[in-house]
Structures are given as C-alpha cells and as structure tokens.
Amino acid sequence: MTEQDYDFNVELVKDGIIKDCLIVGENASGKTNLGYAIFDIIRSLTDKNRKEIKIYSNLYNADSIVEFKYTFRFGESVLKYSYERLSSNVILAERIFVNEKKVLENDFSGAKVSLKGTENLDLEKWDRSISLVKYVYANTILDKEDAVCNVFYQFMQFVNQMLWFSSTKGNKYVGFSNEKGDLLESIAGRDRSVEELQEFLRDLGIEYQLLIKDNGEGKNVYCRLGEKEVPLASLVSSGTRSVIFFSIGICSWRSVPFYMWMNLTLFIIPNWRKQLSERLFRFLVCRRLLHLIIQT
C-alpha cells in the first residue's frame, strides 16, 4: 500500500508512512502469528509481559535460525535493528544501524558497541543469554546530547511501550507493562481510570456505579448494586468485558506508540461496535504519533 491508496483517509498516514491499518484474513491464514512476529522484539529487548508469545519460527522454515528485521524512523533519522534467533531464549547475533552507520554488533566473532558513553562498558560481565542491546541500555549512561545516542534512546523507549492486545482467551496482552495479574485489576491504581471507565460505559447505556476497594489482597474495581458491592470481573458478560478492555486500551494509548489489537469487536453487539468505531477514529485523528493495527 502507498500513501496515495489512503487518499480517502489521509489522517491515517504520517510522513509518508501508513500508521494505522486493518488486517483482514480467513481463519488460520496467519494473522495472529504476524502479530507474534512483530512483537518478538518485546521478548528480546524488554522485561515487559511476553508470556503469550510461545513461537518464534514459521513452521515451513527449513533453517533452524530465524532472522528478524525492524526499521524505525525518528524524525529525520532511521534506525535498523536485526537479530538472529536460534530458539525462543537464544539470540545468536544482533546489529543496529543508525542512518546506515553500524553502532552495535554482536555475532560469532565478538561484540562491538560504538555509542558515546559505552567506552568503559565491561562486556566481560555481559551474559550472552540476553540481548547485547538490552545490556547496553540497562548498564550505560549514554550521551543524550549525541544525535545517534538520542535515536537509540527513542528506539528503546518506543519498544518498551509497544502493546499487543487480544480480546480472545480472557483478554491477554504482550508488552507495555510488567504488572502481574489481570489488567482489569491494574486500573484500580491509575488516576481517574475508574471514573473514566464509568463515564465510558454510561455513554454506551451501561449504568454501573464503580468504586475501588481493597479486598485484603490489593485494590480492585467493584460495582455497587443496592447495598451490595461485588467485583466487577465477576459481574460482566463477555461483550461488556471486551468493552471495558477497549476503554482500558484508550487510556493506555496516551503513552503507547504502537498498538496491535486482535479481534477488537469480538463478543460486542453491532450497536456498540458502531459507537466504539466512531470513538476509535476520533481518537486516532487526535493521536497522530500512535501506530495502530487492528486484526480481525
């Protein structure tokens, strides 16, 4: 696809790059695995939630080594990151180029880093079972005034905020957070999240009186029904749960630069789908820096 193909929705294109799109395909055509492939970088470079990614190689791949390549643009600068994976836990080689200049390499011949601030980095302490990129980011104070280092920082911050979300199998996610437990529980600790969720549901005609309550094992979201207070998670249907997670996604998008959502409207009735689609489009117009992929 090119920018010209999006003449009907120019808001979905930024700097000549399609930033928002919809992936459509038949069952078992590989849509989910495409998402896993894109988000393999989460497993390589972050400590964020990644338990949902269990595969890394195309079953038709005859080679035991799998290569991943990513290209990022930050302003006028382009960063290219590639790595070779032998298994789900073993990276054989990595390379980073910034504006076609190699600044990091890790392969069979050794490791080399050319970023200002890494001159005294002790690679002898580097555990080769983890990514060299991840090790450099965690163990050096790079020169942020240096243009190349600044691009490297932007790259790592971008990857650490990526989020893959699935409305199937109980609403699962990859990336963005390393919080344990259900995402529904996590909103109890976020400013105004419960109030925003209540307003969001009211707009759809769902009248819930929500509150935060500590049940002795941490804070959670409850719903007041007359004189009773019950956990929201035990009350909602599959459709309402998907709507709630859509609301959580909207709140998360304020800091997420790249969002991939699988089966967004699964379990949601047609009337709600229309309202959610309209709200989503309005939000995308406002968030020009967000990249969104919706998978059917």
Position 66 pLDDT exceeds 70: yes
pLDDT class for 6, splitting at 50, 70, 90? low
Q: How far apart are CA 86 and CA 73, in angstroms?
A: 28
Q: Looking at the structure, give the CATH architecture of the domain made up of residues 163-295.
A: 3-Layer(aba) Sandwich (3.40)
- Mean pLDDT across 261-271: 64
**Domain assignments of the chain as residue spans, ordered by start:** 40-160, 163-295
- What pLDDT score does 100 carry? 97
Q: Quick one: what percent of the chain has pLDDT higher than 70?
A: 70
Position 265 pLDDT exceeds 80: no
Taking a C-beta distance cutoff of 8 angstroms, is the pair 223, 235 a contact? yes
- What pLDDT score does 51 carry? 57
Position 290 pLDDT exceeds 60: yes
When comparing pLDDT for 176 and 45, which is higher?
45
Q: Facing residues of 67 across strands? A: 84
Position 2 pLDDT exceeds 90: no
- What pLDDT score does 219 carry? 82
pLDDT tens digit string along 197-236? 888 888 888 888 988 888 777 788 889 988 899 888 888 7
Q: SS3 for the chain, per residue?
A: CCHHHHHHHHHHEECCEECEEEECCCCCCCHHHHHHHHCHHHHHHCCCCCCCCCCCCCCCCCCCCEEEEEEEEECCEEEEEEEEEEECCEEEEEEEEECCEEEEEEECCEEEECCCCCCCCCHHHCCCCCCHHHHHHHHCCCCCCCHHHHHHHHHHHHHHCCEEEECCCCCEEEECCCCCCCHHHHHHHCCCHHHHHHHHHHHCCCCCCEEEEECCCCEEEEEEECCEEEEHHHCCCHHHHHHHHHHHHHHHCCCCCEEEEECCCCCCCHHHHHHHHHHHHHHHHHCCCCEEEEEC
pLDDT tens digit string along 124-144? 889 888 899 999 999 999 998
Question: What is the pLDDT of the chain when averaged over all its residues?
Answer: 79
Q: Count CA atoms closer than 13 A to 217's CA, side-chain side.
A: 5
When comparing pLDDT for 233 and 151, which is higher?
151
Tokens of 154: 């932007």
What CA–CA distances, in Å, run from 149 to 62, 120, 139, 216? 37, 16, 14, 45
pLDDT class for 20, splitting at 50, 70, 90? confident
Q: Among residues 239, 247, 232, which one has the least CA distance to residue 196?
A: 247
- What pLDDT score does 288 carry? 56
Edge to edge, the sheet with strand 258-262 lists 20-23, 291-295, 258-262, 163-166, 172-175
pTM: 0.78
Tokens of 66: 């799998």
First to last CA, the chain: 18
When comparing pLDDT for 18 and 234, which is higher?
234
- What pLDDT score does 283 carry? 65
- What pLDDT score does 105 carry? 96
